Amino acid sequence: MSKKFNFKKLLKGLGIFLLVAIIALAAAPFIFKDKIKALVLKSINENVDAKVAFEDVDLSLFKSFPNANVTIDKLSIINKAPFEGDTLFYSGELNLRMSIKELFKGENEPMNLQGFSSTNAVVNVIFNKDGLGNFDIALKNQEEDKSKEESKPFALNIQEYAVNNMRFSFVDQASNMKMVLDSINHQGKGNFAAQKLDLDTKTTTKVSFEMDNTNFMKNVALSLDAVLGIDLDKSKYEFKNNKALINQLPLEFNGFIQMLEDGQLYDLSFKTPTSDFKNFLGLIPEAYAGSVNQVKTTGEFTVSGKVDGKLTETTIPKFNIELASNNASFQYPDLPKSVKNIIIDTHIVNETGIMNDTYVNLDQLSFTIDQDVFNAKANVRNLTENILVDAALKGTINLANVTKAYPVQLDKPLTGILKADVTTKFDMKSVETSQYQNIQNAGNVSLSGFKYEGPEMAKPFEIKNTSITFNPNQIKLNEFDAKTGESDIQVSGALDNFYGFLFKNQVLKGNFNMNSTKLVVSDFMAPSTTTTEEGTKSTEAVKIPSFLDCNLTAKAGTVVYDNLNLKNVSGNLGIKDEAVTLSNLKMDIFGGNIGLTGTVSTKGNTPKFNMDLGLNAVNIAESFTQLDMLKSIAPIAGAISGKLNSTIKLSGNLTNDMTPDLKTLSGDLLGQLLSATVNENGSTLLTALSSNVKFLDPSKLNLNDIKASLSFKDGKVALKPMNVKYQDINMVVGGTHGFDQSMNYDVKFDVPAKYLGTEVTSLLAKLSPADQQKLQNVPITANLGGNFSKPTVKTDLKQATTNIASQIVQMQKDKLLGQGTSALTNLLGGSSNNANATTTDSTKTTTTPKESVKNEVKNVLGGLLGGKKKKE
């Protein structure tokens, strides 16, 4: 009897098997990790002469089961000399896929890789000026015998691969060329074990290309889905089924590329699969052209080309690329205008295989919008040695129609009529060396009724008329009449090196004359703001363009700057190296005029200035109250009426709105007051001073022709002691104050005693005029502290008054004592016969000499002792 089938036992066995398998899969990375890491290191060390580093190597049997997956984290290859420190390759994550059985091979058996992928990789290929490439890092002078071939760690048996988000850059320092393929996403499938295979690929990227600092392409979108026929024996790659897009322009390729020992062989042709004019709009990035699917077009546009020949160190393949359109038109569905009669005939050709023989012929480019026709043609030759340009423009464009016919993204539509009829012929060496005699220019360009409004402009800008004439040696600005806000400007002049500025990044040189009836500075200064990390907005500093090297002679009837109205402004401005040099700048203001020379520089992070000012008969109160800078230098001047002549030297930093930063101000001021009077009520300081110094009436101060000398630095102002006359009192004023209004001044008075109050006056009355003349003036000092709004005044007036009173009393005592001594002498040395004689009659009483002396002595002693005299 057969045994009954035990299903539960089978399930249990399968469960145990799966558990063991899962444990084995989970444990395998720990078992094989060190082996894989050693193989990776061996593979690198045996093949690469460079600094190689990686963070870690991991093995997973789950990630691509049933295959094993090796992950190398943050792999980098850094060049040695002569490219010391340059990164040749970096990958955030590199994955190698292989069969699990490959893990069990012996040490001398290579592991077959079935696929690989990289994420966030960077590849930098550099050719230096000597023609050396940084990618040549293979170990040299190594004899590869059979044993070494057999001991290679890895062998390629690739079936598929992928590259995600890679950046590839190619730099040729000798030709000053740079190409960047950014955001590369590429994948391929094919059996690399076979010598001949079809590789199915999909690729997208963005291309940028520049040469000699000129940008020819920037982030041009490319995509290619292609089947490449690969012959590994012959290193030949053939384009089979393929579809490419340049932006939205479709192309198809035929032919092959073959790798040779001395370069690459090209035999390629390409063309647009259709001739619809939408192909032309497809060349333009979608951000600028919009969706072309809904655009109504007529006519044709085709791109075709052929590339044939070898690319070596000295030659390039011959090629002929043609862009052609005839009698085409387009109209966007949401726009009222169309562009018609479009003709394009362009050829890019090389017939010799020598790079410098490449030329571009724009034989015709023309179009019509409404009734306005525009034509252009150009020829460019000698591309790599000394570029030769021959071009012509002729036509009219109504700028208002541009946004009505083409989806240009503008905040406000343009207006204006542009007319051009210009021819030019020049070579680039003549541009670089300013050999203007070799440059042939002729024609005119004019623009009228132009209006523009944008975020970079403070006010809408309107050009009424402008006219430019192209001469052989310069471009002449015949007229420029513009208005913005309340401001009007008229400019004429000439540019000397426009082509050097346009093509070679040279500074723009010129000389101009500018006139204006009214110029409001704020009309031209739109606040440029940035947002900080904290979310607050700050104003960016105004920058003087670094590309300008110009001289400007300017006149303006009125210039409004902040709250100031400047009249009859004239002077010269030199603009160079991010700085403006002002010379002979004059203006009428504050009832007088100001002359100014100096510089303003915005080079560096902080704008700076250095100025010499000459003030001629300006109103003191107005200038020192309306200008914050002068107000900080001399706050007391606001209480003075009159005129001022002054020279001021000052320097410091400017704030972002181009006003002086007072904390950084330094310099000096020399000034002379003219017909100046003081308004005591205009200054808290003067009121406090006069209340503490009773004999001083500030309104009676004589300030005419007073000269003052100030110096200022680090927020402090020092006044050199100056003499001031007040009636018959001499005053000396000196000290310091801060821009924060704090102060420490001393006022020293040389005061006649008669001004020191009633007590001193009554004492003076007891002295004879002759004795009063003997008294010296009394020195009194007033110290002014605190600040200008809340001053403190300390004087030694009380002590000085006490001292002079004591001096007067002493003089009286000395005089009376002298009189008393004389009387005593007479008393003691006089005649005895008359000493006691007294005569009395009915009409008078006669006192004898002896009694008279007695009374006088009593009076003197009484005075000396302070007693009271008896009335006689």
How do beta strands 388-398 and 372-381 pair? antiparallel
One-letter amino acid at 169 equals: S
- What pLDDT, on the 0 to 100 scale, is given for residue 45? 62
What is residue 869's three-state secondary structure? coil
Q: 744: which strand partners?
A: 736
Place of tokens 């010799």: 352
The vertex-841 CA angle with 839 and 847, nearest 5°, equals: 35
Q: Name the 3-class secondary structure at 49.
A: coil
Single-letter amino acid, residue 731: M
Give the separation between CA 765 and CA 135, rounded to whole angstroms.
Answer: 111
Q: What is the DSSP letter of 16?
A: H
**Helical (H) or strand (E) element with 512:** strand 508-520
Q: Is the pTM of this model over 0.85?
A: no
Specify the pLDDT at position 729.
85
The pair of three-digit structure tokens given for residue 603, joined into one six-digit string = 């080079």
Q: Which amino acid is it at 844?
A: K
CB atoms within 10 A of CB 134: 20
Q: What is the residue whose two structure tokens read 């070579």?
A: 427
* Helices 797-829 + 758-765 axis angle, to 10: 20
Residue 665 to residue 647: CA distance in whole angstroms? 16
* Contact (CB, 8 A) for 642 and 671: no
Residue whose tokens read 């020829």 = 379
* 549-584 residues labelled b (16+ CB within 10 A) or e (exposed): bbbbebebebbbbeeeebeebebebebeebbbbbee
DSSP code of 660? B
pLDDT for res 833: 43
Q: What angle do CA 329, 335, 336 make, to 5 degrees?
A: 80
Percent of the chain with pLDDT over 90: 26
Report residue 562: phi and psi, to 5°.
Answer: 60, -120
pLDDT for the residue numbered 346:
95
Q: How far apart are CA 457 and CA 119, in angstroms?
A: 44
**Which amino acid, residue 322?**
E
Q: Is 287 left (phi over 0), alpha (psi -120 to 50) or beta?
A: alpha
Residue 289: predicted pLDDT: 63
Task: Give the span between the Cα atoms of 728 and 254, in whole angstroms.
Answer: 110
User: What secondary structure does DSSP assign to 615-651, as a single string?
Assistant: EEEEEHHHHHHH-HHHHHH-GGGGGEEEEEEEEEEEE
What are the two backbone dihedrals, phi and then psi, of residue 812, each rounded to the nearest 5 degrees?
-65, -45
pLDDT at 800: 80
- Per-residue pLDDT at 28: 44
Listed residue (244, 305, 237, 230) closest to 265, CA to CA: 237
3-state SS record for 711-731: EEECCEEEEEEEEEEECCEEE
Cis before residue 66, ω within 30 degrees of 0?
Answer: yes
Q: Where are the domains of the chain?
A: 29-138+153-218, 247-393, 808-829+845-872
Contact 633, 710 (CB under 8 A): yes
Amino acid at 763: L
Kindly give, in sequence order, each residue whose CB lies less than 8 Å from that of residue 83, ignoring residues fewer than 6 positions away.
126, 128, 134
Q: What is the DSSP string of 16-58?
A: HHHHHHHHHHHHHHHHHHHHHHHHHHHHHHTTB-SEEE-SEEE
Q: How far apart are CA 700 and CA 680, in angstroms?
A: 10
Q: In the numeric block, which tokens belong to residue 664?
A: 């950084």
To which H or E segment does residue 864 belong? Answer: helix 849-865
Rounded-to-10 torsion of CA 395, 400, 401, 407? 120
Using an 8 Å Cβ cutoff, are 745 and 783 in contact? Answer: yes
> Which tokens sit at 551?
């001289």
Kind of pairing between the strands at 666-678 and 214-231:
unpaired
- CA-to-CA distance for 313 and 470, rounded, in angstroms? 42
All residue ranges of the chain with pLDDT < 50 are 1-5, 7, 9-31, 143-151, 533, 823-850, 852-854, 856-872
Alpha carbons 271 and 80: distance in angstroms, whole number:
44
Instruction: Classify residue 800 by its DSSP letter.
Output: H
367, 250 contact by CB (below 8 A): no
Contacts for 554 with CB less than 8 Å, ≥ 6 apart: 513, 514, 515, 516, 569, 570, 571, 572, 573
Instruction: Count other Cβ atoms within 10 Å, centred on residue 118.
Output: 21
What is the SS3 assignment for 557?
strand
Specify the pLDDT at position 490.
94
Q: Quote the CA–CA distance of 110 and 149 in Å, as a whole number.
A: 9
Residue 861 contacts by C-beta under 8 Å, 6 or more apart in sequence? 820, 867
- Residues 532 and 295: their CA atoms lie apart, in Å, by 43
